[in-house]
């Protein structure tokens, strides 16, 4: 039976994330109390694991690094059908860049046992770097395919997948164990079911900190991050808006005029 | 500074033996950074029979081109490409290492960074040097801009999307060294690209479209999104989207405009039902005239466009389409 791990992240709800802003005067972040939710692309990663489980049988573990509140999204993944959850949470993990995040996740994964397949969402909606999957694969000594749009063949230990490239795809043959980062074209994530929520109550979420992982403070969180934010700036305004007002018909006519001027009509 | 820093490097990319525009653009900026630092520009090019492309890198400003030229390197192979770049970087110790934010660059860059145990910044919209010669890597975030630096580890690595930097001038008479690499042939990679299949893009290509219509989450639902698709269609415009729309699944990643998507410079930009997130707006700073339609008069997008229309796009767009059709039928 395949051992599958899905890496997930609690992110500020993308629908409200624009409330997190740089204060024009203090140049610090105003966080605006945006609730944490499961990163949208991680739903596709979970779905990929669950489909594998249904098709061939698999043990699916979910792992996340984040604040204690992130337990909520790990729980959600258990309710979706994952078998066990692991939250890596410690003050020392705070402020991690993609490198330190991938390193810490790799140590967590090593500790629960190397899997056959790791699925990650291709990027998180807050960081948007796409780096954690490939860096994680490197630290685990596993191979990687990023931007997976289709799993063509997954019955044996040698898979074939399609991965997104500019104006097309590449067909990739990959031997397990491997890390795959997935796009939203890969599948349609399932919704939570009532029975799933009930079953999840009996599933365990492990919570591990720096001691359990036997890591040094210098190699995790802000201290373990090669990159740091050195400055925050607000953007200067380069355009001055003119509001087009009036009835809807008047607004349409005025916009039509702009379209004519631009040569569109 | 007491000693001159290592070179500024670019990992160039080719498809069908032609250099990608973004590679030349990044090389142009590498040249400028190297001149400021007083160091060389190096480029790595991997492919099959790509010597002409290597010469073009010299013409665009490279002092050294490390050329891996072999049939098994014709298309991107993560194991081979990562191995070659890591080995070269260990030998020559570049101070800065840059790549285009392409599908290849976005996989290769983090693989190389992790092996070299260094930092990597995604999809920069500017690269500058601070007073200590450290690379300031600017990315949009939280309604503004942040500078990311990698103060201690080397190389300082970043990816940059197409269209962020201008095309450099090519000087065919420029002198530069092409260093042919002795590349190992190991075809037993545990991961290998079997083939790359290109598909005909649908609709008007975004990069060259005169008009670009971009829809945001304000479309409301898939049906609302279809009206924005229709607006782009009647205007023969390129259709663009923001990340929330892609996350909703109304359209594919290839339509996304912004920091991690495409950069476009149309004559006219029409943003419909989008809030004006920096990650999106940096993708269209080159537009001549910009119009936004949003039902929230306080939406940040109105601080960044020339014309604003406060209206519910789900009602406004059908009215606009109807009027355009009337005009087109007369």
Cα(A120)–Cα(A5) distance, rounded to whole angstroms? Answer: 9
Q: Is the pLDDT of residue A31 over 80?
A: no
Residue of A nearest to B150 (CA): A227
Listed residue (A119, A98, A102) closest to A181, CA to CA = A119
Q: Mean pLDDT, to the nearest integer, of A165-181?
A: 95
Which of A23-32, B43-52, B55-64 has the weakest average pLDDT? Answer: A23-32
From chain A, pick out residues whose CB is under 8 angstroms from the CB of B307.
241-244, 255, 258
Please tell me the predicted confidence (pLDDT) of residue B134: 97
Cβ–Cβ gap B324/A240 under 8 Å: no
Farthest CA pair distance, chain B? 73
Q: What is the pLDDT of residues A205-229, one digit of tens each?
A: 999 999 999 999 999 999 999 999 9
Buried b (16+ CB within 10 A) or exposed e, B212-242: bbbbbbbbeeeebbebbbbbbebbebbbbbb
Note the pLDDT of residue B252: 85
Percent of chain B with pLDDT over 70: 99
Q: Is the pLDDT of residue A17 over 90?
A: no
pLDDT of residue B216: 95
Distance in angstroms (rounded) separating the CA atoms of residues B104 and B197? 14
User: Which residues 269-308 of chain B have a CB within 8 Å of chain A?
Assistant: 275, 277-279, 285, 288-291, 297, 300, 302-308
- A15-29, A240-254, B248-262, B279-293: which range is least confident on average? A15-29
In this predicted structure, which of A48-52, B63-67, B159-163 has the lowest mean pLDDT?
B159-163
Q: What is the pTM of this model?
A: 0.89
In the block, tokens 């390129």 appear at B238
Q: Is B210 on the interface with A (CB under 8 A)?
A: yes
- Judged by CB atoms closer than 8 Å, whether chains meet at B103 and A166 is answered as yes
Question: For residue A263, is pLDDT > 80?
Answer: no
Which class would CATH give B8-180? alpha beta
Return d(Cα B258, Cα B276) in angstroms, integer: 11
Say if CB B256 and CB B276 are below 8 A apart: no
From B27, B8, B12, select the one nearest B165 (Cα to Cα): B27
The verdict on a CB contact (< 8 Å) between A242 and B308 is yes
* pLDDT class of A253 with cuts at 50, 70, 90: very high
Read off φ and ψ for residue A115, nearest 5 degrees: -90, 175
| pLDDT-based confidence at residue A32 (cuts at 50, 70, 90) | confident
Task: With both helix axes pointing from N to C terminus, report the angle between B51-59 and B21-37 in degrees, rounded to the nearest 10.
Answer: 40
In DSSP notation, B84-102 reads: HHHHHHHHH--SEEEEE-S
What beta strand segments (E) does A95-198 contain? 117-121, 143-153, 158-165, 168-175, 178-182
Q: Which residue ranges form the domains of chain A, and what is each CATH number?
A: 2-219 (3.40.50.620)
Q: Which of B191, B207, B201, B187 is nearest to B20 (CA)?
A: B207
Contact assignment for B199 to A237 by CB distance below 8 Å: no
Are the beta carbons of B279 and A233 separated by less than 8 Å?
A: no
Chain-chain contact of B324 with A128 (C-beta, under 8 angstroms): no
Q: What are phi and psi of A117, to 5 degrees?
A: -140, 140
Three-class SS of residue A161?
Answer: strand
Residue bearing tokens 């191995």: B83
**To the nearest whole percent, how much of chain A has pLDDT over 70?**
100
Query: In sequence order, what are the residues at sequence separation of 6 or more whose Cβ sits closer than 8 angstroms to the Cβ of residue B79?
Result: A143, B186, B189, B190, B191, B192
Residue, of A236 and A89, whose pLDDT is higher: A89
The interface residues of chain B toward chain A in range 27-86, judged by CB-CB distance below 8 A, are 75-76, 78-79
| Cross-chain residue pair A125–B254, CB shorter than 8 Å | no
Predicted local distance difference test score (pLDDT) of residue A106: 98
Residue of chain B nearest A158, judged by CA positions:
B190
Residues 175-194 of B with CB under 8 A from A: 190-194
Predicted confidence (pLDDT) per residue in A69-94, tens digit: 999 999 999 999 999 999 999 999 99
Instruction: Provide the mean pLDDT of chain A.
Output: 93
Report domain extents, chain B: 8-180, 206-329
Cross-chain Cβ contact B119/A171 below 8 Å: no
For B193-239, write each residue's pLDDT tens digit.
Answer: 999 998 876 778 888 888 999 999 999 999 999 999 999 999 999 99
Model confidence at B1, in pLDDT bands (50, 70, 90)?
A: very low
Judge if the upstream peptide bond of residue B155 is cis by omega within 30 degrees of 0. Answer: yes
Q: Which chain A residue has its CA at the smallest distance from B313's CA?
A: A248
* pLDDT, tens digit, 9 for 90 and up, residues A103-152: 999 999 999 999 999 999 999 988 778 999 999 999 999 999 999 999 99
Q: Which of B110, B111, B148 sits opposite A229 (nearest CB)?
A: B148
Q: What stretches of B71-180 adopt beta strand conformation (E)?
A: 96-100, 120-124, 126-129, 135-141, 144-149, 156-160, 177-180
Instruction: Name the one residue in this structure whose structure tokens are 């792992």.
Output: A63
Residue-level pLDDT at B227: 94
Q: What percent of chain B has pLDDT over 90?
A: 79
pLDDT at B2 over 70: no
Q: Cβ A184–B246 below 8 Å, yes or no?
A: yes
Residues of chain A in contact with residue B320, where contact means CB-CB under 8 angstroms, are: 252, 255-256
Q: Which B-chain residues 246-275 have CB contacts (< 8 A) with chain A?
A: 246-247, 249, 252-254, 259-260, 267-268, 275
Both structure tokens of B118: 């260094």
| Residues of B whose CB is below 8 A from A230 | 130, 136, 147-149
> Taking CB atoms and an 8 Å cut-off, how many pairs form between chains A and B?
265
Contacts (Cβ under 8 Å, ≥6 apart) of B330: none
Nearest chain A residue to B106, by CA: A130
Which residues on A lie below 8 Å from B244 (Cβ)? 14-15
Q: What is the pLDDT of residue B279?
A: 86
In this predicted structure, what is the pLDDT of residue B3?
65
**Are A251 and B309 within 8 A, CB to CB?**
yes
CATH fold of the domain at B206-329 = Rossmann fold (3.40.50)
Contact B293, B272 (CB under 8 A): yes
DSSP string for B234-271: HTTPEEEE-HHHHHHTSS-GGGBBSTTSB----SEEEE
For B218, the closest chain A residue by CA position comes to A15
- Confirm or reject contact between B209 and chain A (CB < 8 A): no
Handedness of CA A148, A150, A152, A155 (dihedral sign): positive
Q: Which of B123, B142, B289 lies closest to A29 in CB terms?
A: B142
């Amino acid at each position: 039976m395949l051992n599958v791990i899905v890496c997930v992240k609690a992110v500020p709800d993308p629908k409200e994330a624009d409330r997190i802003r740089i204060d024009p005067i203090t140049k610090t972040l105003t966080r605006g109390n945006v609730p944490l939710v499961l990163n949208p692309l991680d739903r596709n990663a979970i779905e990929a694991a669950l489909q594998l489980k249904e098709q061939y049988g698999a043990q699916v573990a979910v792992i996340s690094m984040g604040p204690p509140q992130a337990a909520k999204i790990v729980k959600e993944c258990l309710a979706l059908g994952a078998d066990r959850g692991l939250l890596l949470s410690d003050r020392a993990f705070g402020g991690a860049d993609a490198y330190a995040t991938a390193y810490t996740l790799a140590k967590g994964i090593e500790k629960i046992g190397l899997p056959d397949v790791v699925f990650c969402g291709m990027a998180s909606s807050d960081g948007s770097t796409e780096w954690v999957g490939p860096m994680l694969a490197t630290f685990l000594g596993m191979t990687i395919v990023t931007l997976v749009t289709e799993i063509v063949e997954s019955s044996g230990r040698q898979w074939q997948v399609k991965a997104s490239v500019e104006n097309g795809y590449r067909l990739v043959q990959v031997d397990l164990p491997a890390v795959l980062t997935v796009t939203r074209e890969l599948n349609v994530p399932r919704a939570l079911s009532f029975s799933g929520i009930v079953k999840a109550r009996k599933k365990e979420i492990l919570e591990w900190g720096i001691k359990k992982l036997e890591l040094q403070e210098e190699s995790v969180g802000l201290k373990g991050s090669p990159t740091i934010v050195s400055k925050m700036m607000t953007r200067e305004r380069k355009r001055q808006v003119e509001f087009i007002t009036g009835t809807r018909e008047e607004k349409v006519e005025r916009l039509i005029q702009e379209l004519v001027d631009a040569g569109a009509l | 500074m007491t000693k001159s820093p290592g070179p500024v490097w670019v990992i160039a990319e080719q498809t069908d033996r032609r250099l990608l525009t973004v590679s030349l653009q990044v090389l142009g900026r590498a040249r400028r950074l190297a001149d400021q630092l007083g160091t060389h520009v190096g480029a790595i090019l991997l492919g099959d029979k790509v010597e002409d492309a290597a010469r073009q890198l010299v013409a665009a400003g490279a002092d050294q081109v490390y050329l891996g030229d072999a049939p098994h390197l014709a298309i991107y192979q993560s194991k081979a490409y990562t191995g070659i770049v890591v080995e070269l970087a260990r030998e020559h110790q570049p101070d800065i290492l840059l790549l285009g934010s392409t599908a290849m660059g976005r996989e290769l860059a983090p693989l190389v960074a992790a092996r070299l145990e260094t930092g990597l910044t995604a999809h920069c919209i500017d690269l500058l040097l601070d007073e200590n010669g450290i690379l300031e890597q600017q990315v949009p975030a939280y309604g503004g801009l942040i500078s990311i630096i990698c103060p201690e580890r080397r190389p300082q690595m970043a990816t940059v999307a197409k269209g962020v930097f201008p095309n450099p001038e090519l000087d065919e008479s420029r002198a530069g060294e092409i260093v042919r690499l002795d590349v190992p042939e190991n075809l037993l990679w545990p991961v290998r690209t079997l083939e790359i299949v290109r598909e005909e893009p649908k609709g008007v290509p975004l990069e060259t479209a005169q008009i670009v219509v971009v829809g945001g989450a304000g479309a409301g639902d898939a049906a609302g999104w279809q009206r924005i698709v229709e607006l782009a269609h009647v205007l023969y415009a390129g259709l663009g989207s923001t990340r929330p729309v892609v996350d909703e699944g109304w359209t594919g990643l290839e339509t996304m405009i912004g920091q991690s998507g495409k950069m476009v410079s149309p004559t006219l930009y029409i943003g419909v039902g989008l809030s004006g997130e920096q990650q999106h707006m940096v993708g269209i700073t080159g537009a001549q005239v910009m119009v936004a339609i949003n039902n929230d008069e306080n939406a940040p997008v109105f601080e960044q466009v020339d014309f604003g229309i406060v209206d519910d796009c789900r009602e406004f767009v059908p009215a606009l389409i109807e009027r355009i059709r009337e005009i087109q039928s007369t």
